[in-house]
Structure 1
Amino acid sequence: MSHSLQTPSSRSSGQTGIVLVLGLAAMVVSMMQTLVVPILGIIQNDLEATTAAVSWVTTATLLSAAVFTPLLGRFGDQHGKKPTLVGVLVVMIAGSVLAATTTSLTWLIIGRVMQGAATAIFPLALSVLREEIRPEKLHGAMALVSGTLAFGSGLALVGAGLLTRGSHPDYHRVFWLAAVLAVVALAGVLLTVPASRTKTGGRTDWLGALTLGMLLVLLLLPISQGHEWGWTSGRTLGAFAGAVVMTGVWVLTESRVKEPMVDMKMFVHRPVLFTNLAGLLLGFAMFTHFIGVSYLVQMPEDLVGYGFGASVLAASVVYLLPTTLVSLVGAQFGGVLVGRLGARVTLTAGACFGVLGFTWLTTAHDTTPSVIGAGMLIGLAISFGYAAMPALIVASVPAHQTGIANGINSISRSVGSAVASAVITSLLASKTVQLPAGMPALPEESQFTLSFAIAGAAFVLVAAVALIGLRTAQTLRTPVVRKAVASETAERAEAEVESAAKSA
């Protein structure tokens, strides 16, 4: 027998390398969403832009992610995950370098559009895991990679705070950090991720991609810009109306295309539908915590009667970093729970921690230990949710739909984050403290309390989704899905036997 036959230990180490590299890639993806939050003011001052104009630095990434994630997730399923991963990382590196070198707001926004396309890395990474990782290790691997999402979001806030400290902050350093991390992730993918063993092939559904992209833009644009445009303005209402019309156009298109980008039967399949609803609520709660706590702790107590007067750096390192660290560690326990008790139970447990965390934050946010302790509970809740959702998706769709199904789930979280940003920004601006003339308006404490209470209610809904919606969904798994998953398992076992025989 040839020495080329892999031993169990060598296969295990190879799979560990794949998981770590894909975890790094997913972390870099999640950093793109929050990377600019602490530095928007610096960008606005340096580029002499208006608040409305600089808000496009975040909106551009959100829209790009919404448009490209399902398209590239499906493209990876059809034509190979590794080349798609490599291509997306190259685009992200180019966008990061562009953002790091330009002094033009227009080119900065273009760079952010290129960074947003990298969001497709996460569903692609889960597709690779499903293909390469042994079934008994799959839940833990997915939990680790998913856990890096919450960790990356918090790490971006900390990194941005550290890199822009001092009297002369330079926001370009933040984008150089993104470029360096993306290069490391690209090298890891090239060295450790094997070529795809299965490709569905087929033609790309460009019409479906176009109509879905238009639908998402029309939906997310007014959500992200409504505060600037006015929630009852013609532009906002017109965009929402356009989103409703495009929903009908998209559904009609996908129902008539021979090889649709999104299989509508999969899209409305109850486990997938309820998991996406949970993703939207989790995205809302996570972003509410990041934004709410960041603003709360920076409030000057001597002027408004609450807050801690923290700097941007202190807000990130002291108050938000513990949440991200707990999220990373909690993801491992979440993976164990998914394997032993099931994804639905894990999601329920996470929702309960989220309710406790936001209840604590709502009722007692006047001391540093309370804010940090509540945040750690919320971090645990998010990590359990992120560990459970990929497992729910993978258990509900055949292998060739893993990329697109997880891509849609990523979009649901992005939509939740966008809604959280819009809601919290509007709430904080709706009631302000009376300050001397010439000073900027600052929100009343009651608005933070209300924001945290709403996020706690979102976790209550996540628990309801897990306990009621997904329980019902489990009894409704269609014969088609059961047959597809069983067929996939048999094909994978056969492929492993053939691979071992060829190596012998």
Structure 2
Amino acid sequence: MTAMTRVTIPATAPDQGDGRKVVSALCFSVMTLAILQAAVVPVVPTMARQLAVGPTAVGWVVTANLLAAAVVTPVLSRLADQRGCRPVLIGMLIAVVIGSVLCVLSPSLPLLIIGRVMQGAGFALFPIGVAVVRAVLDERRVTRAIGLMSGIMAAGGGLGIVAAGVLVVDGGDYRRVFWMLLVLSLVALIVVWWAIPDTRRRDTHGRRFDAAGTVLIAVALCALLLAIAEGSRWGTWVILPLGIGSCGCFCWWYRYEKRCADPLIPPRALIDRAVTPVHIAAVLVGAAMYVQFLGIAQFVQIDAGLGGYGFGYTVLEASLMFLLPGSVVGVVTATLSGRLISRFRADLVLASMCGVGLVGFTLLGFTHDQPWQIVVAAGVINVFVSGAYTALPSLLIEAVPAGDTAVVNGVNAIARVVGSSLASAVVASLLAVMTLEGSDVPSESAFTLSFVLGGAAAAGAGVCGLLAHTRAEG
């Protein structure tokens, strides 16, 4: 296993007070990212009504952001490793601010989609933030900082959903959400400019940007995510070529990167005995998280008079009662997980958290007759998600050199996106196919099966975490 090493930084490393300033700025930034990602989803139907467009067209507000995030995250993460985190973070947040301005001012859907593409740059905040804390903090404080960042990011998602529900209640203008995102992005830009030090490494001077590798990975990721996100609408004859093309591009990209002197993503950051299981675990954790999010949000909105289950809550009520408490639990869990990782191995913490997730999904799948039961199960699952999101970067830090910190965490972040996209497609398909006789209302068994799959994903992630440590020792 590669020992943890610190990045070469300016002559004097930040003291403890400066370290707190850096971590505080990064926490606010990743919270902004989480709100930016989550707050838009509940208002998509409102956008469709107010822009007078169909559900397929308005869906690109989410899809375009997802594709942009997948493409730019590895690129920006590698640039941060090679050119320093501070300029990349500042440039990224400037792009997010401009994108937010476009979303606020957009009179039509195309300009709104362009704004969402620019906002996709913000997805690289977390992996680059991990590289920053590894550069400026000692080993003991790194895991605690990652835990706090993970918890704040988890809470930000819940806050974003609640804020969106409040801002557009009773038919409010969807642009209110983007005004909120614009203000948060501006503040994040200011605090990053003020707090983040220069972390440029002296041994990367003269390295060239890998343009060919960037194009190949961008095509491969876009084809893969389009196949997942649009599969149900486009049909097999479109999705099959996309899937085959994605596999072909990935293989071409991998062969090229193995020969490239300065690859965009070093093959060891993707395919390595100690790294690959962590990326697979990220796919599974991302999938489990979305199973919980989508399943609970839709389950509690079903009218019991129609389906024989559910509670008939609104989107805002569902967010406040079931999702927000779990986000609060997630903050506490992530902070404690950082301390646990400092004392025990990261793989053991990940496996333990995945065991907790299995318990939570079991509760959710088979005891959901009362609202309090779902609140408890959601809290247990958020313990798992937040703890796992803290352990994954720690496992990667143990496995790669300091110069690959941002890019390997960027790859891991994209793995979580792939998992979330897969879960979204699977849950949507189950709820569409397994319906009550004579109606389009999902059956209770569709939700139960979804939650069982979430538990299986959690268990699989734990096994992958342990396998990563075993292989690293071997």
- State if a TM-score over 0.5 links the two structures: yes
TM-score by length of 2: 0.95
Q: What is the CA distance between 1:433 and its match in structure 2?
A: 2.6
- Structure 1: how far apart are the matches of 2:280 and 2:270? 12
- Structure 1: how far apart are the matches of 2:336 and 2:268? 33
Q: 1:189 aligns with which of 181, 187, 192?
A: 192
**Aligned residue in 2 for 1:473:** 471
Q: 1:361 aligns with which of 357, 364, 377?
A: 364
1:397 aligns with 2:396: no
**Aligned residue in 1 for 2:6:** none
The equivalences for 1:402-413 within 5 A come to: 402-413=405-416
Q: 2:226 aligns with which of 211, 221, 224?
A: 221
- Structure 1: how far apart are the matches of 2:245 and 2:293? 31
2:276–2:468 Cα contact (<8 Å) kept: no
- Structure 1: how far apart are the matches of 2:454 and 2:52? 34
- One-letter code of the match for 1:218? A
Q: Mind listing any 5+ residue stretches in structure 1 that lack a counterpart?
A: 1-5, 477-504
Q: What is the CA distance between 1:435 and its match in structure 2?
A: 5.7
Q: 2:215 aligns with which of 196, 210, 213?
A: 210
1:99–1:107 Cα contact (<8 Å) kept: yes
- 2:216 aligned counterpart, secondary structure: helix
**Aligned residue in 2 for 1:497:** none
- One-letter code of the match for 1:412? A
1:281 aligns with 2:284: yes
- One-letter code of the match for 2:83? H
Q: 2:17 aligns with which of 13, 20, 23?
A: 13
Q: 1:370 aligns with which of 353, 373, 385?
A: 373
Q: What is the CA distance between 1:169 and its match in structure 2?
A: 2.1
2:104–2:175 Cα contact (<8 Å) kept: yes
1:118 aligns with 2:122: yes
Q: What is the CA distance between 1:146 and its match in structure 2?
A: 2.0
- One-letter code of the match for 1:375? A
1:358–1:374 Cα contact (<8 Å) kept: yes
The equivalences for 1:46-125 within 5 A come to: 46-125=50-129
Q: Mind listing any 5+ residue stretches in structure 2 that lack a counterpart?
A: 1-10
Q: 1:425 aligns with which of 410, 415, 428?
A: 428
- Structure 1: how far apart are the matches of 2:238 and 2:321? 40
- Structure 2: how far apart are the matches of 1:61 and 1:244? 22
**Aligned residue in 2 for 1:498:** none
- Structure 1: how far apart are the matches of 2:12 and 2:102? 45
Percent identity over the alignment is: 38
Q: What is the CA distance between 1:139 and its match in structure 2?
A: 0.8
- Structure 2: how far apart are the matches of 1:345 and 1:394? 15
Report which stretch shifted further, 384-393 or 152-161: 152-161
- One-letter code of the match for 1:37? V
TM-score by length of 1: 0.89
Larger radius of gyration: 1
CA-to-partner distance for each residue in 1:324-370, whole Å, 9 max, x for gaps? 11111111110011000110111011101100100000001121111
- Structure 2: how far apart are the matches of 1:288 and 1:276? 19
Q: 2:319 aligns with which of 316, 324, 334?
A: 316
CA-to-partner distance for each residue in 1:350-401, whole Å, 9 max, x for gaps? 1011001000000011211111000000111011101111111111111111
- Structure 2: how far apart are the matches of 1:474 and 1:271? 5
- Structure 2: how far apart are the matches of 1:89 and 1:115? 8
- One-letter code of the match for 1:462? A
CA-to-partner distance for each residue in 1:116-144, whole Å, 9 max, x for gaps? 11111111111111111122211101111
2:83–2:200 Cα contact (<8 Å) kept: no
1:214–1:246 Cα contact (<8 Å) kept: yes
**Aligned residue in 2 for 1:486:** none
Q: How many residues align?
A: 462
- Structure 2: how far apart are the matches of 1:466 and 1:279? 10
**Aligned residue in 2 for 1:131:** 135
1:462 aligns with 2:467: no
- Structure 1: how far apart are the matches of 2:374 and 2:243? 36
The equivalences for 1:295-310 within 5 A come to: 295-310=298-313
CA-to-partner distance for each residue in 1:93-127, whole Å, 9 max, x for gaps? 11112112213111111111111111111111111
Q: What is the CA distance between 1:266 and its match in structure 2?
A: 3.3
**Aligned residue in 1 for 2:7:** none
- 1:395 aligned counterpart, secondary structure: helix
| Cα RMSD, aligned residues only | 1.6
- 2:264 aligned counterpart, secondary structure: coil
1:298–1:312 Cα contact (<8 Å) kept: yes
Q: What is the CA distance between 1:317 and its match in structure 2?
A: 0.8
**Aligned residue in 2 for 1:489:** none
- 1:270 aligned counterpart, secondary structure: coil
2:275–2:468 Cα contact (<8 Å) kept: no
